[in-house]
Amino acid sequence: MAECAWCHNEYDKTFSVTYGDQSYVFDCFECAITMLAPTCAHCGCRIIGHGDEVDGRFYCCASCVRAAEPVDLHDRATAGHVGGTR
């Protein structure tokens, strides 16, 4: 049995996460996210998806980026098509 790096629970079905040059053992994804996931610089939520980064600050979505930064970032874009139709 291994001990969770976050909650210190001893559990027989732990898993390891390597982050940078460190390895951690967790008993659930909740503990791994709480310990390792970055926090949105605007709303404070944990970023468990791709998120966005502006000048070293992490954001959970384009809406939070627009609220905090002088950039025009969007979650979706429409690609222009060159020549012909689809």
What pLDDT is attached to residue 83? 60
Average confidence (pLDDT) per 10 residues, the chain, 86 residues = 97 97 98 97 96 93 93 73 56
pLDDT at 73: 79
The pTM (predicted TM-score) of the whole model is: 0.74
Only one residue has tokens 């020549």, namely 83
Nearest Cα residue to 25 out of 38, 42, 41, 7: 7
Q: What integer pLDDT is reported at residue 40 of this predicted model? A: 98
- In terms of C-beta density within 10 A (0-12 exposed, 13-18 middle, 19 or more buried), how is residue 72 classed? exposed
